[in-house]
Amino acid sequence: MAIADIWWVMLIGAAAIFLLVMGLVLAGLASRAAPSDEGERGTPVWIWGLGLAFPMVTLAALTGYGLMIGERLLPRAAPDLVTVEAEARQWAWTFRYADDPALRTEDVLHIPAGRPVDVRITSRDVVHSFWVPQLAGKLDAIPGRVNVLRIEAATPGTYAGQSAEFSGTGYAGHVFSVEAHDPAAWAAFLQGGAP
């Protein structure tokens, strides 16, 4: 997944920078024999080079890369889009389905696999957060607001979900799961024959 790519790029880059900086610090300690220099001769290298140019170039590259990935993750109009509603409360989730307004599930969200799904997230009481790490990043459930998160499960299966905003004493157990169905099972679920 794209976000995992970003993580590996950043981890390797950060590790390299960390080693570089630590190397420079240790080399600074090693130069003990040299006579002390009271001047400012090092300014071009240390301030202009390493202090200004180095982070600016690195950060410009990283920010550009991040924005590009972010752009790719933006929800696009899709013909086979499925819309569901997720309403959080202390400490449970209620899911409703645009395909059948009478349908309602608690703590288990059913979606079709291989199709984009818009989750309309809101809260009935305090701030919560909808997070299914394998499917997408998190998005807050805020009372009085509806936030839309696009998720898509590539393969059928069960995906663990977690509320990710502190919400009081029941917070630790505030979990849910996402059930991604193949087309036949999804049709069966919408018929009321939920597995």
CB-count burial class (<10 Å; 0-12, 13-18, 19+) for 105 = middle
Q: Is 158 in the site for other proteins (CB under 8 A)?
A: no
Angle between the N-to-C axes of helices 54-73 and 2-30, in degrees from 0 to 180, rounded to the nearest 10: 170
Q: Which stretch binds other proteins (CB under 8 A): 37-45, 80-88, 102-110, 178-186?
A: 37-45
Q: Is 155 helix (H, G, I), strand (E, B) or coil?
A: coil
* C-beta closer to other proteins: residue 55 or 157: 55
Q: Which residues contact 35 (CB under 8 A, 6 or more apart)?
A: none
Give the separation between CA 93 and CA 72, rounded to whole angstroms: 29
- By CB under 8 A, the residues from 68 to 97 that bind other proteins are 69-70, 73-74, 90
Tell me, by CB under 8 A, how many residues bind other proteins.
72
* C-beta closer to other proteins: residue 18 or 187: 18
| Tokens coding 124 | 């009935």
Q: Which stretch binds other proteins (CB under 8 A): 26-34, 79-87, 107-115, 175-183?
A: 26-34
Choose, by CB under 8 A, the member of 82, 83, 116, 137 that binds other proteins: 137
